[in-house]
């Protein structure tokens, strides 16, 4: 890759250790560990720059100010010499600031974090492929400040990777999702969320016996490592999955159609309650439900089940025919004059607890714009 001036950018890899290389040259050899430590830290700083004082404290915190400043100057001199031999102009300084040239470098961690906002499975897989190992794996400087910073980044990036892998597992088909869930558990064997994910996917694949063994494995490792039982959420999920009918098209005892699992969570959008009783507010509430359903349907991460209007079905008939979903989105609308208030809540239908809730205030004269704002927020 080249920058705007046609200069080949260097690549810094911080996952799995430290590595810097230049296209057509290969890996660059740097003297000692403090030079690479400076590059690694600057690569993660806003603007890829930091003050001399910060770098001196980070790498030589046990020394007095004068000694640490001298050590920093010497290390920077050696680092520039090593880079210059490879034809790499990477370090720049301006008064009290030391930095990397952002246009002359690519950093795997930065590309990884940018890619995690992807909404499609292929894009997310590309981002996750950059995480080839723990952040600065095996790189220890012997400076408490630097090693603590690296450990904190290592933990933060691992958490982001695991959360994104769980997201990926719900974007792909159930069998592919199972492979992702197994990767998560290999990286973090005590991650209870991953066991719940795997249980759901196994049931979706019709493998109830393996889902049962997964639940027991979760109980066993939590008991062994922490001396605790599974969380109420995990137990409730297992009880729900055990009773669920996963056969395609099969009806439950009360006649409600079972939602076919595809590795993605299902959300049912219920009709919003009109608390003021005005007919005009009924139309607003119905329009809001339609807008929210449309907005959620555009997100590939979910299966959206729209609620049935009471004008279409009511009473026992409505309850009996309503599809069962993992999550239920509901809300209420109330108006006082021109002032509107909408309360929205998302409930985990398995665990029975609130996942998210928010209050929105607006004006009736701008009802359509207000609907759009709520739908996009949800």
pLDDT one-digit tens code per residue, 34-50:
999 999 999 999 999 99
- 31, part of any domain: yes
Here the contacts of 25-32 (C-beta below 8 Å, separation 24 or greater) are 25/86, 25/87, 28/82, 28/83, 28/86, 28/88, 29/82, 30/79, 30/82, 30/83, 31/78, 31/79, 31/82, 32/75, 32/78
- The more confident residue out of 278 and 194 is 194
Where a domain ends, among 191, 209, 243?
243
The Cα–Cα gap between 21 and 127 comes to 20
- 255, part of any domain: no
Here the contacts of 172-180 (C-beta below 8 Å, separation 24 or greater) are 172/121, 172/263, 173/262, 173/263, 174/201, 174/204, 174/205, 174/261, 174/262, 174/263, 175/205, 176/263, 177/201, 177/263, 178/202, 178/205
Residues 99 and 158 in one domain: no
- 259, part of any domain: no
342: left (phi over 0), alpha (psi -120 to 50) or beta: beta
The pLDDT value recorded for residue 73 is: 94
CA atoms lying within 13 Å on the CB side of residue 172: 19
Residue 20 confidence (pLDDT) above 80: yes
Where a domain ends, among 129, 162, 196?
129
Residues 14 and 123 in one domain: yes
Residue 235 confidence (pLDDT) above 60: yes
The CA distances from residue 188 to 175, 216, 369, in Å, are: 20, 17, 44
- 363, part of any domain: yes
Where a domain ends, among 98, 129, 160?
129
The CATH number of the domain holding residue 198 is 1.25.40.10
The pLDDT value recorded for residue 70 is: 94
Quote the domain boundaries for residue 35.
10-129
The pLDDT value recorded for residue 364 is: 65
- 254, part of any domain: no
- 196, part of any domain: yes
The pLDDT value recorded for residue 279 is: 58
Residues 102 and 157 in one domain: no
Report DSSP state, residue 17: B
Paired tokens of 350:
């398995």
pLDDT classification of 125: cutoffs 50, 70, 90: very high
The pLDDT value recorded for residue 287 is: 75
The pLDDT value recorded for residue 308 is: 43
Residue 136 confidence (pLDDT) above 90: yes
Residues 175 and 231 in one domain: yes
Q: Which residues pair with 339 in a beta bridge?
A: 336, 363
Residue 321 confidence (pLDDT) above 90: no
Residues 270 and 370 in one domain: yes
The pLDDT value recorded for residue 264 is: 62
Residue 19 confidence (pLDDT) above 90: yes
Lookup result for tokens 């950093």: 107
The Cα–Cα gap between 325 and 303 comes to 9
The CATH number of the domain holding residue 43 is 1.10.10.10
Cβ–Cβ < 8 Å for 256, 320: yes
Residue 242 confidence (pLDDT) above 70: no
pLDDT digits (tens, 9 = 90+) for 247-293: 334 443 344 444 444 456 778 888 777 766 665 666 677 777 777 77
pLDDT classification of 313: cutoffs 50, 70, 90: very low
Q: Which residues pair with 105 in a beta bridge?
A: 10
Q: Which range among 186-190, 296-300, 337-341 has the greatest average pLDDT?
A: 186-190
The pLDDT value recorded for residue 231 is: 92
Residues 359 and 295 in one domain: yes
Mean pLDDT over 178-186 rounds to 94
The pLDDT value recorded for residue 179 is: 94
Q: How far is CA 340 from the centre of its chain?
A: 33
Percent of the chain with pLDDT over 70: 76
The pLDDT value recorded for residue 370 is: 64
Instruction: Give me the phi and psi of 143, to 5 degrees please.
Output: -100, 120
pLDDT digits (tens, 9 = 90+) for 55-100: 999 999 887 888 999 999 999 999 999 999 988 989 998 889 999 9
Please name which of 168, 169, 174, 178 lies closest in space to residue 262, comparing C-alpha atoms: 174
Lookup result for tokens 């995690």: 116
pTM: 0.63
Residues 26 and 75 in one domain: yes
- 5, part of any domain: no
Residues 22 and 58 in one domain: yes
Tell me how many domains the chain contains.
3
Residues 27 and 125 in one domain: yes
The CA distances from residue 291 to 7, 188, 269, 288, 323, in Å, are: 49, 39, 11, 5, 20
The pLDDT value recorded for residue 254 is: 41
- 138, part of any domain: no
The CATH number of the domain holding residue 365 is 3.40.50.11830
Residue 323 confidence (pLDDT) above 90: no
- The more confident residue out of 268 and 319 is 268
Lookup result for tokens 């609308």: 333
- In angstroms, how far is the first alpha carbon of the chain from the final one? 39
As to burial, measured by CB atoms within 10 angstroms (0-12 exposed, 13-18 middle, 19+ buried), residue 349 is middle
């Amino acid at each position: 890759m080249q920058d705007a001036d046609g200069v080949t950018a260097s690549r810094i890899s911080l996952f799995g250790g430290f590595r810097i290389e230049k296209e057509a040259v290969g890996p660059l050899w740097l003297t000692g560990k403090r030079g690479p430590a400076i590059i690694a830290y600057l690569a993660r700083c806003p603007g890829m720059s930091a003050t001399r004082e910060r770098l001196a404290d980070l790498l030589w915190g046990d020394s007095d100010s004068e000694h640490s400043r001298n050590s920093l100057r010497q290390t920077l001199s050696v680092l520039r010499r090593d880079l210059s031999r490879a034809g790499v102009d990477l370090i720049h300084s301006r008064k009290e600031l030391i930095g990397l040239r952002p246009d002359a470098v690519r950093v795997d961690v930065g590309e990884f974090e940018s890619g995690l906002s992807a909404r499609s499975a292929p894009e997310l897989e590309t981002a996750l492929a950059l995480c080839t190992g723990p952040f600065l794996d095996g790189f220890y400087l012997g400076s408490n400040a630097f090693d603590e910073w690296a450990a904190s980044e290592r933990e933060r990036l691992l958490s982001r990777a695991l959360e994104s892998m769980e997201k990926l597992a719900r974007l792909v088909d159930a069998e592919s999702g199972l492979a992702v869930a197994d990767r998560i558990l290999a990286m973090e064997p005590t991650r209870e969320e991953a066991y719940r994910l795997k249980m759901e996917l196994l049931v979706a694949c019709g493998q109830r016996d393996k889902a049962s063994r997964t639940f027991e494995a979760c109980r066993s490792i939590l008991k062994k490592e922490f001396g605790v039982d599974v969380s109420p959420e995990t137990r409730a999920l297992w009880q729900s999955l055990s009773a669920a009918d996963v056969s395609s098209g099969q009806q439950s005892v009360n006649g409600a159609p079972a939602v076919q699992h595809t590795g993605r969570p299902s959300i049912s959008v219920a009709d919003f309650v009109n608390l003021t009783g005005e007919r005009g507010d009924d139309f607003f509430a119905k329009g809001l439900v339609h807008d929210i359903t449309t907005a959620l349907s555009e997100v590939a991460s979910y299966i959206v089940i729209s609620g049935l209007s009471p004008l279409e079905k009511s009473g026992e008939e409505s309850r009996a025919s309503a599809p069962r979903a993992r999550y239920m989105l509901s809300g209420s609308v109330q108006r006082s004059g021109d002032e509107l208030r909408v309360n929205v809540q998302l409930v985990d239908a398995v665990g029975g607890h609130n996942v998210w809730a928010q209050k929105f205030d607006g004006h009736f004269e701008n009802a359509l714009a207000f609907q759009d704002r709520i739908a996009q927020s949800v």
